[in-house]
């Protein structure tokens, strides 16, 4: 199964849990900010990530894995280049 692009972001209130999530995601993804990452995952890798991060997410926390589709337009603001695709639309 081939890997697909994802945007992963989180809001974890507990410092220890947030640092653990950050460490795991930095090993797997290209970071944009401390809580936003551009990633390529197979279904198995995504499932493994969920299993690793689930114990770190408390009731008031948020964790999102958003699929990125080549068939849809992506609008980006700013100067940073995307690590997912080279054919992004840049709006400045």
- Binding-site residues for Mg(2+) sit at 11
Q: How many CA atoms lie within 13 A of 25 on its CB side?
A: 27
DSSP code at position 79 = S
Q: Known binding site: residues?
A: 11
Of the candidates 36, 38, 31, the residue with the CA atom closest to the CA atom of residue 12: 36
CB burial class (10 A; 0-12, 13-18, 19+) of residue 86?
exposed
Determine how many CB atoms are found less than 10 A away from the CB of residue 8.
23
């Amino acid at each position: 199964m081939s890997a697909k692009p994802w945007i992963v972001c989180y809001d974890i209130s507990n410092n220890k849990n947030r640092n653990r999530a950050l460490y795991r995601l930095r090993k797997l993804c290209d970071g944009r900010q401390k809580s936003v990452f551009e990633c390529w995952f197979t279904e198995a890798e995504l499932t493994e990530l969920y299993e690793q991060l689930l114990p770190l997410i408390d009731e008031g926390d948020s964790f999102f894995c958003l699929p990125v589709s080549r068939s849809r337009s992506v609008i980006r603001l700013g100067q940073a280049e995307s690590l997912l695709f080279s054919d992004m639309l840049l709006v400045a």
